[in-house]
Amino acid sequence: MTDETLSRRRLLRAGFGGAAAVALGAPSVHAAPREVKISLQRSSVLFTVLKVKGTLAERLAPLGFAPSWHLFTRVIEPMTAGAVDIHADVADAVPIFTQATRAPLTFYARERGAPAAEAIIVPADSPVRTVADLKGRTVGVSRGSGSHYVLAAALKRAGLTFADIKPAYLQAPEGAAAFEQGSLDAWSIWDPFLAFAEAKRPVRVIADAAGLTSYHRYYLANDSFVAAQPEVVSTIYRSLVEAGAWMRANPEAAVALLAPIWGDLPPPVVAAANSRRTYAVEPVERGQLGEQQAIADVFHEAKLIPRRIDATAVPIWQPPAGRG
């Protein structure tokens, strides 16, 4: 038998052995899962639930993806820069600023409105009783937030403008400290920071979003990611819908999950914040974006955005029929 014949037989045996190993289910080498970068802010309750419970990691694994989580206190800059694939859910006003910068973002879900979850508050012993009383006062607000719009619209309704007050542009954690220390006469803020403030000291709400905006929260993703990975977006959408249903059906368990994440707050405080949110996730319909246009017009009039925009002219992803 020649060396050539032996080599040929060895190759045949090796090939047969490899085929048999595959047939018998021997372990194969799998590619590492691809990262899906997801941003959060403190008010991103449903994403927090999906992260803590591991639900999204479990749902994405069969698709070859794994979530990575990124906490931001400022959201407009990473949204504009495309720093992550899936962005934190944001108040209705935030997309107006990102649209004004022509950020490549697609709307893929929204959380039904909860106007009581945003409010302008003052210390309970403050002489300020109405929004009109804010004239000449220092008012804290996060630039570009939903509460920025609530403040702008409330001032307009009271016959005032930003020129009539002293706006203090602070991110929510900074605003919380300033309000608690008495550095602000008033603070325009959203939950859970609103609930935090109410727990720290007696406060009075002089206006909430009722009559000004419904305070829908919008879920956005990078255009390119939605185009390339629609099944991932669909999985995330369905997971958010289910997380919202879980929150509504299990209020005590939801409080127990969130309290340690929010700094071991007393359960009644967490429950108060949750009670003001609907957690009802639904598709975005273009015909329902009229309030977005109203926000855009107020911001343009107040010179908070550089140009007039059509707030309804946004890319919208819809869940596949029968899977929403």
Give the integer Cα–Cα distance in Å for 227 and 188.
Answer: 37
Q: Express each pLDDT in 248-261 by its tens digit.
A: 999 999 999 999 99
Cβ atoms 303, 143 nearer than 8 A:
no
Q: Express each pLDDT in 47-57 by its tens digit.
A: 999 999 999 99
**Per CATH, the architecture of 34-113+215-301 is what?**
3-Layer(aba) Sandwich (3.40)
Q: What is the model's pTM?
A: 0.82
Residue of 67, 106, 104 whose CA lies nearest to 82: 104
Give the integer Cα–Cα distance in Å for 87 and 72.
Answer: 10
Q: Can you tell me which residue has the tokens 């014949």?
A: 5
Q: Check if 34-113+215-301 and 115-208 are the same fold.
A: yes
DSSP 8-state secondary structure symbol assigned to residue 89: P
User: How many helices (H) and strands (E) in the chain?
Assistant: 13, 11
In the prediction, which pLDDT does 322 show? 61
In the prediction, which pLDDT does 264 show? 81
DSSP 8-state secondary structure symbol assigned to residue 53: H
**Confidence check: pLDDT of 122 > 90:** yes
Helix (H) or strand (E) holding 322: none
Q: Express each pLDDT in 185-239 by its tens digit.
A: 999 999 999 999 998 899 999 999 999 999 999 999 999 999 999 999 999 999 9
- Spell out a b/e string for 265-284, using b for 16 or more CB atoms within 10 Å of the CB, else e: beeebbbbbbebbbbebbbb
Q: Where are the domains of the chain?
A: 34-113+215-301, 115-208
Helix (H) or strand (E) holding 149: helix 146-157
**Confidence check: pLDDT of 105 > 80:** yes
Cβ atoms 44, 88 nearer than 8 A:
yes
**Per CATH, the architecture of 115-208 is what?**
3-Layer(aba) Sandwich (3.40)
Give the integer Cα–Cα distance in Å for 240 and 311.
Answer: 24
User: How big is the chain by its Cα radius of gyration, in Å?
Assistant: 25
Residue of 169, 149, 160, 151 whose CA lies nearest to 305: 149
The two tokens of residue 109 are 């879900």
Name the amino acid, one letter, at 51: K
Q: Which range is least confidently modeled, 5-14, 30-39, 203-212?
A: 5-14
* pLDDT mean over 87-97: 93
Helix (H) or strand (E) holding 261: helix 251-261
Q: In what order do the strands lie in the sheet with 138-141?
A: 166-169, 138-141, 186-190, 118-123, 203-208
